[in-house]
Structure 1
């Protein structure tokens, strides 16, 4: 679906107002009906480029202006797509693997849009991976400098002690420098293995596996359960779905905030 530009006069007559009425933009983006969108605006719940807008006559440029409702970002470009995949073990995080291994193209081929993956998961690591055609958002979510949190559940060899969990959050030294887990906790320890949850924002290669091996507990199974505000939930291995409106709003809000903070820094 494409948004038609409401120029305010037939044929774009000279002197016609530029842009599209804000309530029409909100309705086209699926936020609410035009009538309800008008109520949101007059209630002061809509921001354009960070400023509250209460006038129903306000016109905006959907391609360049940033809109938020209740401080949650709204995607105005309906050509953008955002998909969550529960990547199975054995799938390479590439759209065309040069060695002929199974890759993400089996999933992206299902969509008309040309989707690509946000970041990577090792072939032997399963879990949450985002597929999108939004390059700007993908850059922010994947780049380590923006500090997006990721949570993993690891099955490891041996019984992990509280002291080992403390080491992960205090920091361990690896070949490419020190690394600190933002959070770590022991979920289960029985028999000859343990289940550990690790949250960190580092984007370094195989970082969770290397951290746990460094503290004496090699990983036998690793799943990414959370990426920023997104949770894998009950999505089965190999299944994928579009992000819902709330999830999309959360990652767009995160992306915009990270970019603003990065530009101010």
Structure 2
């Protein structure tokens, strides 16, 4: 026998209104912290802290919580200044010198990477960090969403380092790093480490890792009884340090950037390649204190006959020069600096991975 009484609904079965609807706000758009990160003002975490501090207003009202969505027509101000317009997603490669801190402002007054970058760059944030004494490739972008995506270990990008160590290298112990290692209660995942050459009590290693935990290379090699005396990052995923000289920065072209990121990462990061470029910058290497080359607005002409052979010869010459720079002799750094300042740099550099046998476009 069935009853005609209406079925009672539990509280679980009652659809819950979105938080945005309960607060009277439109649920369309994107979170305010995400918009601030998108234009490079700050990371999402820092943006949320700025909102909680009362530094952000939307349409004239001070926000008390980062749980707020904004649309394209909302007027957003940070510290009384309008939020910059969304710009096309861009990415820059920077050869970080040793002795500078990877941060916007240092409470101890030390020089930061933004103090040594050339003028004329858009507002940028770093993809990850390098220790103060670590040199080499540092990736910067104007898109906070892209920076957050590329930093995640789930992205699976390999970071390669050139490491000079002091101590006796055990090849078997290096091989064992492929299985991971625990140091002081912290487990580090698989690490690729190979011995390149030894000279007395010093040696050069090539190390590849995918997690990028804080001071990972120094902690892991220290657990093997090796003291890291120099650390140079050579690559970050498909992006290579190449021939980029110390202190130079270079932008990756939009088409190349899209190809290297791939559709999956572009979707996950929400990268925007349709917006205009508000601050043009040369895609050739630029160093602080030197005039920037003219912004290239036309497509590169077709390669001349014999260009590939000449470029290969240039790379071979540069490889020999780099081997001389990555030495263990005392005083080598000073000789390298003098040679680099007096020598002529190559104008062409490949900073992205290219499959064997591929031809440059």
Aligned residue pair count? 185
Contact 2:180 2:191 in 1 (8 A): no
* TM-score after normalising by structure 2: 0.47
Contact 2:127 2:140 in 1 (8 A): yes
Q: Deviations over 1:188-219 (max 9, x none)?
A: 11211111111111131100110000011110
Contact 1:88 1:237 in 2 (8 A): yes
Q: Is 1:94 matched up with 2:103?
A: yes
Contact 1:184 1:196 in 2 (8 A): yes
Q: For residues 166-185 of structure 1, what are the structure 2 equivalents within 5 Å? A: 166-185=175-194
Contact 2:177 2:193 in 1 (8 A): yes
Aligned pair partner of 2:159 in 139, 142, 150: 150
SS at match of 1:224: strand
Gaps in structure 1 of 5+ consecutive residues: 1-62, 64-76, 261-265
Q: Is 1:243 matched up with 2:252?
A: yes
Q: Deviations over 1:216-248 (max 9, x none)?
A: 111000011010100100111111111135641
Q: Deviations over 1:78-106 (max 9, x none)?
A: 63321100000011001111211000222
Contact 2:179 2:191 in 1 (8 A): no
Q: Is 1:123 matched up with 2:112?
A: no
Contact 2:101 2:110 in 1 (8 A): yes
Q: Deviations over 1:132-174 (max 9, x none)?
A: 1111111111122333221111100123232121122222211
Structure 1 residues 247, 224: CA separation in 2 closer, same or farther (over 3 Å shift)? farther
Structure 1 residues 189, 246: CA separation in 2 closer, same or farther (over 3 Å shift)? farther
Aligned pair partner of 1:159 in 163, 168, 175: 168
Gaps in structure 2 of 5+ consecutive residues: 1-71, 73-85, 270-361
Q: For residues 1-265 of structure 1, what are the structure 2 equivalents within 5 Å? A: 79-108=88-117, 110-245=119-254, 247-253=256-262, 256=265, 259=268
Structure 1 residues 174, 154: CA separation in 2 closer, same or farther (over 3 Å shift)? same
Query: C-alpha separation between the residues in 1 aligned to 2:188 and 2:263?
Result: 24
Moved over 4 A (4+): none
Q: Which has the higher strand share?
A: 1
SS at match of 2:161: strand
Query: C-alpha separation between the residues in 1 aligned to 2:206 and 2:255?
Result: 25
Contact 1:226 1:232 in 2 (8 A): yes
Query: C-alpha separation between the residues in 2 aligned to 1:141 and 1:109?
Result: 24
* TM-score after normalising by structure 1: 0.64
